[in-house]
C-alpha cells in the first residue's frame, strides 16, 4: 500500500512505513492509486511532523495543502511557494 503519510510503497503485510515509520492503516480503507508526485514531495518534506491530506488550491504565489499535525491532530494549511519564486535574487 502507499503510505498515507509520505506516499512510499509498502508491502501489504507492513505495519509501519519503511520510509517515515508512521503506522499504516488496515487494508480495506486504503487508496490503491499512487498519490500524485507533487503531494508526495510535500509529504516527504514534512513526514513525521504533518499528515498532508489534500491540496486545497493555488494562488499567484503558492499551492495550499490541508494537513494535520502528526501528534496533535490539529488542522493547518501548508503553503508551498511556486518554484520560480522560491529562490533568492542572484
Ligand X SMILES: Nc1ncnc2c1ncn2[C@@H]1O[C@H](COP(=O)(O)OP(=O)(O)O)[C@@H](O)[C@H]1O
The residues binding Zn ion (CB under 5 A) are 3, 5-6, 8, 17, 19-20
Interface map 34-73 toward Mg ion (x if CB under 5 A): -------------------------x--------------
Nearer residue to Mg ion within complex by CB, 28 or 59? 59
Q: Cβ of residue 80: shortest distance to Mg ion, in angstroms?
A: 13
Phi and psi of 46, rounded to 5°?
-115, 5
**Non-local CB neighbours of 43 within 8 Å, separated by 6+ positions:** 5, 6, 7, 35, 52
Cell of 83: 518554484
Amino acid at each position: 500500500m502507499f503510505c498515507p503519510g509520505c506516499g512510499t510503497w509498502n508491502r501489504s503485510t507492513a505495519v509501519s512505513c519503511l520510509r517515515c515509520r508512521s503506522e499504516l492503516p488496515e487494508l480495506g480503507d486504503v487508496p490503491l492509486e499512487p498519490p500524485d508526485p507533487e503531494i508526495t514531495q510535500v509529504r516527504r518534506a514534512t513526514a513525521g511532523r504533518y499528515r498532508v491530506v489534500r491540496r486545497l488550491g493555488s494562488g499567484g504565489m503558492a499551492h495550499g495543502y490541508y494537513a494535520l499535525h502528526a501528534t496533535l491532530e490539529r488542522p493547518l494549511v501548508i503553503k508551498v511557494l511556486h518554484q520560480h519564486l522560491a529562490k533568492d535574487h542572484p
